Chain A
Amino acid sequence: MTSRRHPVQTLTYAPFTPPRLYAAIAETLFSISTTSHEILATWHTPPAPLQGKVAPQSKNPKTQPENEKEDAEEVSPSKAENEAVTAESGDVEMTDSTSQPPIGKRKRSPSNTPTKPAPPSDHVESKKSKRSKKHKPETVAAKLLPNYIGQIVYIPTKHILAVTTLEDKSLRLLDCDSLEVIKEWVLHKRPSAITITDSNSTILVGDKFGDVYAYSIPNTTTTTTTSPSQPELADAKLLLGHVSLLTTLTTVTLPPSQTRSTTAQNANGKAAEKQYIITADRDEHIRITNYPHTHAIHTFCLSHTQFVSRLLITSQNTLLSGGGDDWLGVWDWYSGTLLQQVGLREIIAGIYPDEEERGKLVEKMKGYNTRRRRREGEEEEREVVVAVREILEVEGGIVVVVLEGVPVLLRFEVVETGRVEYRGFTRTPGPVLSLTGADGGRVYFGCDVGDNEKGGLVLYADMGVEEPRVCELFEGERKGLEGVRVEEGEEDAVNERLYSVEGLRKGFGGMGEDE
């Protein structure tokens, strides 16, 4: 296999003038102008935490992949400097540990800022050591796992981004312009879902252990803040929890007009809005919880027979859900009733009427997960396995759905009753990995185009029209963002990170399989 560049795994649109896109490629965040296509700023995640024995070369800046460093220099001159700081500051706590016995898993290292060295790591250490886990064999040679960027949320009124990183399990607030870290929190567990609520003043983070914590955004976030506050656990508030991996969450408001009981009126006799958090998990549950009174569960939406991976509140205030079932659910979430099941299998059959073509796609999808290949012996995958990766609504009531590994954008329309109707599909150059909605019915998305130099390809399509056309954001010389080169032998690891949705399915080694 020839070299391949890492595709864009996360995209977020921010409607400034001119509008911007925030794109994450592995450990790097790019801020891109959608009009001039210039890269305005970049940010690297701090080095990933150490596991097991500390490798002797850990003081060496080479702990970051060589090629990434080269890329950094190409992309922005200031970043190479950044990176040096990153590597150095990240290594503070590692330097003299080579001669010592393994001290278990270290989960994170301090974040970097270009202007100030990272905070002393002692307190981080002490906090972490209590929670150190032993499930990884300590004899495993130290390997710096890439500290992937997970989710990015744009917080409009504050001019900041909330960014989660997966390996050091952190939530950071970044300035929208400079991408400097304003604040950071160490999370309890690896984050798996994020959303904002309370008129942009609270971030909700769901994790792999099923819990949802609230983090309030400080009011004094000005761009002049130079040093991030000390990473803290303290101001996280546990709101609710599932005993299952939390896959996604969203919030919803019941408008006064729909508040069905008189009890929902406040002291003035005015009908009050009621807020809810909707969470979904790997064990087929969708739960509606009161907010902020999260001790009271309102109801459950039960019908899925596989994991639920995506939720969307439509413009008609119905809930759209998708996951490992070959249908999308449309719900009256308030009563927990399933209004409609939108079959996806027929749609796939319509897009790939040719059995051979479908077979090729199935073969390709098998390659995304080594465990999937291992499962072959038992029960071979013959049909396209449906795993909903993205559900998004753009202007005009158009819902765009992405299925993992299937190189199309599916287009639906929300009709007045809140139900959805299939409107067609648009082929993409490769499986869509990231998707974000912009103004005017446009979506931007990142594609995995496989073995070629295009790498972090960013495309867009206007979904409001009858037959949307897919265009590349970068034209001419630069074909895509130059993300890290994926070396031979890394393919599987990278694919498993990028194609993670199907991995939620039970029966092939998700969280805690039967012995």
Chain B
Amino acid sequence: MSAASPPVANPTKRQKRIDYRKADHHDALPQKKYYRQRAHANPFSDHRLSYPIRPDEMDWSDYFPAFFSKKRKFDDEDAVNDDEVEGIQNPSVAGVQMDTKKVEIADIGCGFGGLLISLAPTFPETLILGMEIRTQVTAYVHDRITALRNQCLSGGTKGEGEQEGLEEGESGESESVPGGYQNIGIIRANAMKFLPNFFEKHQLKKMFFCFPDPHFKARKHKARIISPTLIAEYAYILRPGGIIYTITDVENLHLWMAKHLEEHPMFERLTEEEQETDVCVKIMRTDTEEGKKVERNKGSKWVACFRRREDPV
């Protein structure tokens, strides 16, 4: 899947999508039907990705304009967001010192962004980044965040039902949302290859892996986001005590993820009690798009959480 849209079978559909995306929606939430894309992307492909050479080269101002001033060392050629973001003119949250914060929570493969939006008011002081490899989906989440931010800035008065594609419980309460959704961001990235380009050693305190691609075939197991070799990389960017959250509706995948994390010397599993009292686990169960879908289909959801141990001596 390339950044440029692949030829679409139905040209009118494509044109509609382009028109929709060009139009200014300000605080109207985006509609998913204009952001459809096949469900999988090959993590081994090169794609046309933008990523910083190293974490200190990253310009976060495109993603968290309330917390970072423009750096422009790193040009984001994807520019899904450039013009719109600049229109906002640094809506700095009162009392925030620019360029001091770092991303501390990452949602790997965040999909349509349900978890991010739920986490935003739960951790208003923490920067939360969603990473997603599919361009259309990334654009959707970006537009969704922009709309939510705009709603908060303008007092968020749009009544429920006035907007198409409105997500449950998102609009009525938006004026009082702590953090005003300024603390969440979305980036198109291949997290399996480039996490160390975005995050320093020990930078993160939480990582989420919600309903990842199951890659059922044995020879595809290396493409799984939780794999014996990738866990070492997650341990590198997580700080000691940091937590990996996993949830899936595929029991086999759950067993695989739990097995490999359990076997890894850098992680220990959270007890049942710890897991059930963690607010993130509740959000992960109920507020991700996939979680809702599984709920509707009355499927099971498997959760496993792991704490990163101290570094070996």
User: A243–B197 contact, CB under 8 A?
Assistant: no
User: B46–A506 contact, CB under 8 A?
Assistant: yes
Could you tell me the distance between the alpha carbons of A241 and B42 in the complex, rounded to whole angstroms? 17
Could you tell me the distance between the alpha carbons of A512 and B46 in the complex, rounded to whole angstroms? 6
User: B196–A290 contact, CB under 8 A?
Assistant: no
Give chain A nearest CB distance to B254 CB in angstroms: 22
Q: How many residues of A contact B (CB 8 A)?
A: 39
Could you tell me the distance between the alpha carbons of A454 and B193 in the complex, rounded to whole angstroms? 44
Per-position 1/0 for B181-196, Cβ under 8 A of A? 0000000001011101
Could you tell me the distance between the alpha carbons of A289 and B2 in the complex, rounded to whole angstroms? 33
User: B46–A510 contact, CB under 8 A?
Assistant: yes
User: A240–B48 contact, CB under 8 A?
Assistant: no
Please count the residue pairs between chain A and chain B whose beta carbons lie under 8 angstroms apart in the complex: 88
Give chain A nearest CB distance to B172 CB in angstroms: 42
User: A297–B53 contact, CB under 8 A?
Assistant: no
User: A297–B233 contact, CB under 8 A?
Assistant: yes
Could you tell me the distance between the alpha carbons of A13 and B111 in the complex, rounded to whole angstroms? 53
Residues in A neighbouring B197, C-beta threshold 8 A? 302
Residues in B neighbouring A296, C-beta threshold 8 A? 232, 235-236, 265-266, 311-312
User: B230–A513 contact, CB under 8 A?
Assistant: no
Could you tell me the distance between the alpha carbons of A285 and B198 in the complex, rounded to whole angstroms? 13
Residue A297 contacts which of B44, B46, B218, B232 (CB distance < 8 angstroms)? B232
Considering the complex, give the chain B residue whose CB is closest to the CB of A513: B46
User: B2–A302 contact, CB under 8 A?
Assistant: no
User: A511–B311 contact, CB under 8 A?
Assistant: no
Residues in A neighbouring B44, C-beta threshold 8 A? 243-244, 511-512
User: A299–B312 contact, CB under 8 A?
Assistant: no
Per-position 1/0 for B113-138, Cβ under 8 A of A? 00000000000000000000000000
Residue A241 contacts which of B2, B194, B230 (CB distance < 8 angstroms)? B230
Per-position 1/0 for A121-155, Cβ under 8 A of B? 00000000011010000000000000000000000
Q: Confirm or deny: B228 has a beta carbon within 8 angstroms of a beta carbon on chain A.
A: yes
User: B265–A295 contact, CB under 8 A?
Assistant: yes
User: B42–A512 contact, CB under 8 A?
Assistant: yes
Give chain B nearest CB distance to A338 CB in angstroms: 10
Q: Confirm or deny: B43 has a beta carbon within 8 angstroms of a beta carbon on chain A.
A: yes
Residues in B neighbouring A253, C-beta threshold 8 A? none
Residues in A neighbouring B53, C-beta threshold 8 A? 284, 302-305
Residue A294 contacts which of B190, B232, B313 (CB distance < 8 angstroms)? B232
Could you tell me the distance between the alpha carbons of A513 and B54 in the complex, rounded to whole angstroms? 23
Within B287-313, which residues are at the interface with A (CB < 8 Å)?
Answer: 311-313
Q: How many residues of B contact A (CB 8 A)?
A: 37
Residues in B neighbouring A303, C-beta threshold 8 A? 53-54
Could you tell me the distance between the alpha carbons of A243 and B218 in the complex, rounded to whole angstroms? 17
Per-position 1/0 for B1-27, Cβ under 8 A of A? 110001000000000000000000000
Could you tell me the distance between the alpha carbons of A303 and B55 in the complex, rounded to whole angstroms? 10
Residues in B neighbouring A300, C-beta threshold 8 A? 54, 196
Within A182-230, which residues are at the interface with B (CB < 8 Å)?
Answer: 209-211
User: B230–A283 contact, CB under 8 A?
Assistant: no
Residues in A neighbouring B265, C-beta threshold 8 A? 293, 295-296
Considering the complex, give the chain B residue whose CB is closest to the CB of A301: B54
Given A241-B230, A297-B233, A302:B311 Cβ within 8 A: no
Considering the complex, give the chain A residue whose CB is closest to the CB of B229: A241
Give chain A nearest CB distance to B198 CB in angstroms: 11
Given A295-B265, A300-B196, A243:B43 Cβ within 8 A: yes
Residue A513 contacts which of B45, B192, B229, B231 (CB distance < 8 angstroms)? B45
Give chain A nearest CB distance to B200 CB in angstroms: 9
* Residues of chain B at the chain A interface (Cβ within 8 Å): 1-2, 6, 42-48, 53-54, 190, 192-194, 196-197, 201, 218-219, 222, 227-233, 235-236, 264-266, 311-313
* Residues of chain A at the chain B interface (Cβ within 8 Å): 130-131, 133, 209-211, 238, 240-244, 263-264, 283-285, 287, 289-290, 293-297, 299-300, 302-305, 506-507, 510-515
